[in-house]
């Protein structure tokens, strides 16, 4: 089962990529993709979906503030809020009807719901959290999951520095669909092909971009994709009439994978899926009009890698593109940088990591969540901590996988109740709660998964840097 949320098109696109990867595995016999907003109330759907884009257009500073305010790891703890829980009931019913053996979440809303369901014992499926931007954001961290897949290595290092076990976090890239019909080869001597994207909804900024491109001195041809915005398409068609031989104007198209492989340079917004598709195609980007928060951070990463440049005003977009095209070798260097960081097999790697990965979830106690939040606010990493609030891990002896992250002070209670005469630690069902504030029944239920007992060992956090995969 693949759970997404239609806030923008990226999360659903990532879900479609994982669905495509499922079709290539003979051990996957049935797949259900569900946009959780589509089965929620219209009010909830409008507030989260349409409301987000209203803020993007009218109050972008508020989007940036909200992104930064929610970025601290485990700032959000405990059960999901009552309004979300009420709107999640159709999703819970769908999960119970389908009875999946594995669940992939490509948005943090279903990821948070699944953590609650794992701890309550409502589901026993393996669960994966798959992020859809290059920078990791704190809302994606949940109290229970099987595997967490991030877009790049720095995100994995960040999470393991916070205390998350390396055996539960992998840097796979952002899942994208792959095309079975690659673009035709370009002929030497042809002018560079530019791909201008207004996004799925058709952003008005595209008209300003095209207007400035008309003043470019470099030779080029361009395809402008206007998305669902029919009025924007008509405006741009009128705008490029004097240079119709250089421009092709499209509305919504399902041929974006082919267009990405045909182009030499992309002009548009750095959404996580768009950027990932460009990098997989070896297509460098000229970034315009990024949404504050995640898209700005995506752009920072791409520019750091040499695969993008950013234009902060449409008034200079033509000059910016000219700068890239006219400097000898620059476009080729950017293309090589994009190719280097592209991860075209991300969806396959996510699926393999989940289905072939641990069968027991990782549980992060609320006390451990508080430690992680406090350490991040004090600019510390988890291995710097000492004393009763320091973090330790419980590792399943049978599989050598981490099953719990908890505080040192919580460990004493576990040892008092579950230590064997030989000093080993064996979690058992039916011995009562070791600490009510731990929500002990949920803790044990999630780890035991129906088994009567699970032998575990205790490990401290390594003080060495996280190992490369």
Instruction: Identify the pLDDT of residue 402.
Output: 95
* Higher per-residue pLDDT: 185 or 133: 133
Cα–Cα distance, 63 to 26 (Å, whole number): 42
Identify the bridge partners of residue 170 per DSSP, sorted by sequence position: 149
Instruction: Identify the pLDDT of residue 275.
Output: 95
- Cβ–Cβ under 8 Å, residues 132 and 95: no
Domain range 193-343, CATH architecture: 3-Layer(aba) Sandwich (3.40)
DSSP-derived secondary structure letter, 275 = H
Give the strands of the sheet with 362-364, arranged side by side: 144-145, 362-364, 401-407, 391-396, 453-460, 425-428
Structure pTM?
Answer: 0.91
Query: If DSSP codes are grouped into helix, strand and coil, which group holds residue 400?
Result: coil
- Asked if residue 69 has pLDDT above 70, the reply is yes
Instruction: Identify the pLDDT of residue 330.
Output: 96
- Summary mean pLDDT of the chain: 88
Instruction: Identify the pLDDT of residue 187.
Output: 60
Torsion from C-alpha of 370, 442, 15, 157, nearest 10 degrees: 40
- In sequence order, what DSSP letters do the residues of 183-205 get, joined into one string? PPPPPTTPPPEEEEE-TTTT-TH
Q: What are phi and psi of 264, to 5 degrees?
A: -105, -20
**What separation in angstroms does the CA of 331 have from each of 266, 325, 334, 338?**
11, 6, 5, 11
Instruction: Identify the pLDDT of residue 463.
Output: 47
Structure confidence at residue 40 as a pLDDT band (50, 70, 90):
confident
Structure confidence at residue 186 as a pLDDT band (50, 70, 90):
low
Give percent of the chain above pLDDT 90. Answer: 60
**Residue range 163-177, pLDDT digits in tens:** 999 999 999 999 999
* Averaged pLDDT, 447-463: 85
Range from 49-58, 260-269, 278-287 carrying the lowest mean pLDDT: 49-58
Cα–Cα distance, 342 to 339 (Å, whole number): 5
Q: Nearest-CA neighbor of 431 among 423, 422, 420?
A: 420
* Higher per-residue pLDDT: 449 or 261: 261
- Asked if residue 451 has pLDDT above 60, the reply is yes
**Residue range 309-340, pLDDT digits in tens:** 999 888 899 999 999 999 999 999 999 999 99
Would you state the structure tokens that stand for residue 457, as one six-digit string? 């060992």
Cα–Cα distance, 198 to 131 (Å, whole number): 23
Q: List every span in the chain annotated with CATH 3.40.50.2000.
A: 193-343
Instruction: Identify the pLDDT of residue 199.
Output: 75
- Asked if residue 465 has pLDDT above 50, the reply is no
Indicate the pairing of strand 391-396 with strand 401-407: antiparallel
Identify the bridge partners of residue 129 per DSSP, sorted by sequence position: 105, 148
Return the beta strands (E) in 264-347 as ranges.
265-268, 285-288, 308-311
Range from 40-54, 164-178, 341-355 carrying the lowest mean pLDDT: 40-54
Q: Nearest-CA neighbor of 289 among 268, 318, 308, 273?
A: 268
- Asked if residue 185 has pLDDT above 80, the reply is no
Q: Which residues contact 47 (CB under 8 A, 6 or more apart)?
A: none
Would you state the structure tokens that stand for residue 16, as one six-digit string? 């479609």
* Higher per-residue pLDDT: 244 or 184: 244
**Residue range 350-372, pLDDT digits in tens:** 999 999 999 999 999 998 999 99
DSSP-derived secondary structure letter, 462 = P
Query: If DSSP codes are grouped into helix, strand and coil, which group holds residue 91?
Result: helix
Cα–Cα distance, 35 to 91 (Å, whole number): 9
Q: Nearest-CA neighbor of 385 among 405, 403, 402?
A: 405
Q: Nearest-CA neighbor of 140 among 112, 102, 172?
A: 112
Cα–Cα distance, 114 to 88 (Å, whole number): 10
Cα–Cα distance, 357 to 346 (Å, whole number): 16
Q: What are phi and psi of 112, to 5 degrees?
A: -65, -40
**What separation in angstroms does the CA of 364 have from each of 124, 141, 354, 426?**
17, 10, 19, 18
Q: Sign of the CA dihedral 404, 141, 353, 40?
A: positive
Range from 9-18, 75-84, 120-129 carrying the lowest mean pLDDT: 75-84
- Cβ–Cβ under 8 Å, residues 163 and 461: yes
Largest CA distance in the chain: 87
> Of 142-151, 420-429, 431-440, which one has max mean pLDDT?
142-151
Instruction: Identify the pLDDT of residue 225.
Output: 93
Give percent of the chain above pLDDT 70. Answer: 92
């Amino acid at each position: 089962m693949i759970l997404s949320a239609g806030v923008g098109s990226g999360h659903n696109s990532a879900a479609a990529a994982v669905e495509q990867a499922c079709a290539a595995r003979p051990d996957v016999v049935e797949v259900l993709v569900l946009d959780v907003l589509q089965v929620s109330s219209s009010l909830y759907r409008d507030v989260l979906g349409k409301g987000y884009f209203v803020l993007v257009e009218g109050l972008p500073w508020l989007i940036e503030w909200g992104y930064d305010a929610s970025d601290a790891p485990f700032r959000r703890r405990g059960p999901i809020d009552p309004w979300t829980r009420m709107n999640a009931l159709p999703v819970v019913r769908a999960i119970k009807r389908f009875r999946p053996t594995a669940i992939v979440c490509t948005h943090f809303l279903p990821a948070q719901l699944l953590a609650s369901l794992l701890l309550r014992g409502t589901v026993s499926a393996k669960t994966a959290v798959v992020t859809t931007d290059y920078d990791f954001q704190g809302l994606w961290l949940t109290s229970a999951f099987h595997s967490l897949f991030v877009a790049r290595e720095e995100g994995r290092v960040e999470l393991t520095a916070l205390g998350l076990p390396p055996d539960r976090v992998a840097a796979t890239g952002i899942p994208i669909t792959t095309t079975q019909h690659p673009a035709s080869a370009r002929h030497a001597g042809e002018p560079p092909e530019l791909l201008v994207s207004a996004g799925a909804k058709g952003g008005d900024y595209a008209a300003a971009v095209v207007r400035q491109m008309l003043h470019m001195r470099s030779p080029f041809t361009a395809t402008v994709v206007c998305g669902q915005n029919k009025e924007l398409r008509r405006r741009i068609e009128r705008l490029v009439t004097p240079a119709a031989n250089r421009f092709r104007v499209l509305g919504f198209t399902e041929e974006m994978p082919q267009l990405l492989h045909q182009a030499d340079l992309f002009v548009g917004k750095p959404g996580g899926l768009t950027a990932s598709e460009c990098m997989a195609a070896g297509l460098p980007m000229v970034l315009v009009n990024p949404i504050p928060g995640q898209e700005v951070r995506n752009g920072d990463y791409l520019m750091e890698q040499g695969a993008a440049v950013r234009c902060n005003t449409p008034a200079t977009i033509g000059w910016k593109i000219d700068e890239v095209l006219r400097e000898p070798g620059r476009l080729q260097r950017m293309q090589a940088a994009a190719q280097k960081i592209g991860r075209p097999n991300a969806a396959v790697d996510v699926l393999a990591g989940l289905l072939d990965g641990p069968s027991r979830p990782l549980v992060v106690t609320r006390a451990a969540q508080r430690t992680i939040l406090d350490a991040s606010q004090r600019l510390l990493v988890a291995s710097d901590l000492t004393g009763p609030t320091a973090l330790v891990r419980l590792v399943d002896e049978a599989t050598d996988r981490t099953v719990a992250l908890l505080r040192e002070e919580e460990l004493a209670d576990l040892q008092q109740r579950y230590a064997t005469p030989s000093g080993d630690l064996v979690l058992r069902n039916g011995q009562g709660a070791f600490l009510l504030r731990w929500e002990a029944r949920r803790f044990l239920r999630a780890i035991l998964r129906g088994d009567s007992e699970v032998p575990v060992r205790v490990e401290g956090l390594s003080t060495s840097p996280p190992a490369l995969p």
